[in-house]
Every structure is written in structure tokens, then in C-alpha cells.
Amino acid sequence: MKEVTVVGAVIKNKHNQILCAQRASHMVLADYWEFPGGKVESGEDFQEALIREIEEELACTISIEAKITETTYDYDFARVHLHTYWCSLVDRDPIAKEHAELRWLSVDSLVDLNWAPADLPTIEIITN
């Protein structure tokens, strides 16, 4: 089975809301919600990859505060190793360059979305 290492940003705003990103219809896991991020490239550490991915996907800059968790999930297309981090915005509001939609939600509202399975352990940690 193909293995992929990815990183995800749990971005909080000044209102203590979390940024949620809905995958576009042309993407794998279309319409599922996720924490924005992406694949770690060869030679990158997790934090470098996360900063790069957020700049590419959302046209904004983040600061990384702390690791939340790491999860492994076996999808039918690959085994995904996801590392999630608490982050905050440094500049500019995020723009959905690749996602269908972005939403800022309270922590209590996160459970109302249809999350990609690999993101569920992070949801469980941050909502408890």
C-alpha cells in the first residue's frame, strides 16, 4: 500500500474559531471537511511543509504553536500519516484557492461537519 505523510493546520482566529476547509469536488475525498495542509516533500520537516502548504492553498502565512497529534489512517488509495498542529494567522485572511469552501467555526460546532476520517482523532482531541 502506498504511504503518504501529510500535515494539517488547526488555525485559530482571534475569536477562538477554527478554520475548516471543504475538499473540492475534483479532489480525492471530495466534499469531506479537513484541516488545511498537504504532503510533506522530500527534505522538508513537518513544520516547513505546513507553512509552505498553507501559503500555496490559502495565500496566507501561519505561525505554528504546538503539535496536536499524529494519526495513521488506511484509505483505499493510500495509508495516510497525518500530523496536526495548532496554528495562528500571521497575515492576510485565508482564501480558498483549492478548496470548495472555508468556514470559521467554534470548537463546539466542529462535530457538525463531515470530516475526512484521518482528521477525526484531531477533532476528538480539540473538542474534549
What's 91's domain CATH number? Answer: 3.90.79.10
| pLDDT of the residue at 4 | 97
| pTM attached to this predicted model | 0.95
Q: What is the pLDDT of residues 64-92, one digit of tens each?
A: 999 999 999 999 999 999 999 999 999 88
Total structural domains within the chain: 1
**Which range of residues forms the domain containing residue 113?**
3-127
The Cα–Cα gap between 39 and 52 comes to 10
pLDDT beyond 90 at 95 = yes
| pLDDT of the residue at 27 | 87
Report CA Rg, the chain: 13
Q: What is the pLDDT of residues 24-69, one digit of tens each?
A: 999 899 999 999 999 999 999 999 999 999 999 999 999 999 999 9
